[in-house]
Amino acid sequence: MNESGGVWESFVLIVKVCFVLAIVIILFYMIIKILAKRNRMLGSGQSIRSIGGVPLGPNKSIQIVEIGHCLYLVGVGENIQLLEKIDDPDEVAFLTEMLTNKSSNAQFVTFGEWFKKVRSKPNKVDGEDVTASYQQVFYDKMQNSMNRKKRFEDILQEKQTERLNDE
């Protein structure tokens, strides 16, 4: 009988430890949610807001920054370069909604969901389409930036020739 009493006490102790551990985990989760909600409320009054970004390499990324009612696509590396200004209200609303929903849906993943993701093999065709579309968008933006730079240089050249002609 003495041995079964010791086993029972050990079992009760393990259950108590698991219960307290579950309470601590739930408290941490609630604190994180409250702090995230508080930070969102504090950040909503700011006129400059970072919407998101994509790392391209060590110390290099592309960021989307909202200033007022415009979005700015910015390249960040050794220096900061404006890649694109998006001021079309419909496009700004669409991108803001898409990027904020993406980040707000990033919640804790259950073990079952994580295990399903790990077990499922990615579809290579879909991945290639996404990569190709990203590469196409990136290429288009870079071409647009280079064309804008070329137009700016042409305008400067025209102004310099006008000055020389005036003298």
User: SS3 of 52, please?
Assistant: strand
Question: What does the pLDDT read at residue 96?
Answer: 80
141 neighbors 83 (Cβ within 8 angstroms): yes
Measured CA to CA, the distance from residue 47 to residue 66 in angstroms comes to 8
Residue of 22, 89, 98, 96 whose CA lies nearest to 65: 96
The pLDDT-based confidence of 21 (bands split at 50, 70, 90) is very high
87 DSSP 8-state letter: -
For residue 68, with 0-12 CB atoms within 10 Å meaning exposed, 13-18 middle and 19 or more buried, which class applies? Answer: exposed
Alpha-carbon distance 76 to 62, whole Å? Answer: 6
Return the percent helix, strand and coil in the chain, to nearest 5: 65, 20, 15
What pLDDT, in 10s, does the model give residues 121-143? 555 444 444 455 677 787 888 88
Q: What percent of the chain stands above pLDDT 90?
A: 14
Degrees, nearest 5: CA angle 48-50-55 = 150
Position 118 confidence tier, pLDDT thresholds 50, 70, 90: low
Phi, psi dihedral angles at 122 (to 5 degrees)? -70, 145
Q: Please report the beta strands in 12-47, taking only residues with DSSP state E, as ranges in sequence order.
A: none
Number of helices (H), then strands (E), in the chain: 4, 4
Q: What pLDDT does residue 115 have? A: 63
